Amino acid sequence: CKSTHNNGNSSNVHHHHQQQQQPFFLPPKNKKYPKKTLILDLDETLVHSSFKPFPFKPDISLHIVVDTRTHNVNVLKRPFVNEFLSRMALFYELVIFTASVAPYANPLLDILDNHKVISHRLFRQHCVNTSGLYIKNLRKVGRDMKNMIILDNNPISYVFNKENGVPIPTWKSDRNDKELLKIMPFLEYLSKVDDVRNIVKQVVKNNSIDYNEVNKLIQSDNSSSSGSNKNYNKHRGDGSYNNNS
């Protein structure tokens, strides 16, 4: 198990034994990365995986070993996931934080992250197990809370840090899904604000994004920046923010 994408057994063992002594999961941010950090959930946010075969060809097939047992895992990629990752890497340091185990998540991410834009990986071992629920405590990540967002389909995952949580509908197989496209302009907007928590409180209501409110913020930003954000329309997916989801 490891917390970053760097391979090497010796470093993995070192990290595992030193983790209790380190205050944070991640090393200090490399200055080459943007100021803000986007924490991304994996399953049902970016992909959907199953031990059972799908009625159609999976996007990715894995053969993994967990606790000495070999498993075949079939994986579907959420529509536009690769475009989403490439685009968000222009605005954020990208970190995967999954409640899944590393022997599954690592080989999947090795394939999914084909442009190598994900900086770090955090797994189940980094979650807080509360009554069988795996909670992601963002205060242990090692980034300024005002500059960090988590995108996750399960609000329970970030219950300790609701003011940093951005929800996205659960995805399993809908090939017409456009949620990743739809949310990109909002995340681009968040990358420029002083404190993401103030905006999240304003637009996230009942574990859902109020896209009407988001649209007002972006329109206001467009006006004040004299059209410097013309790329927004290109990435809206459904062409508007009129549909709450």
Choosing from 41, 59, 67, 221, which is the catalytic residue?
A: 41
Output DSSP code: residue 102. H
Q: Which helix (H) or strand (E) holds 196?
A: helix 196-203
> How far from chain centre, in Å, is Cα 93?
11
**Tens-level pLDDT at each residue, the chain (245 residues):** 333 444 433 333 334 444 445 689 999 999 888 899 999 999 999 999 999 999 999 999 999 988 888 999 999 999 999 999 999 999 999 999 999 999 999 999 999 999 999 999 999 999 999 999 999 999 999 999 999 999 999 999 999 999 999 999 999 999 999 999 999 999 999 999 999 999 999 999 999 999 999 999 999 988 887 544 444 444 444 434 434 43
Q: Let me know: does 150 contact 130? Beta carbons within 8 Å.
A: no
- Of the candidates 155, 152, 177, 210, the one whose C-alpha atom is nearest the C-alpha of residue 81 is 177
116's torsion region: left (phi>0), alpha (psi -120 to 50) or beta? left
Q: Let me know: does 146 contact 114? Beta carbons within 8 Å.
A: no
What is this structure's pTM?
0.83
Place of tokens 């943007």: 34
Q: Quick check: is 41 catalytic?
A: yes
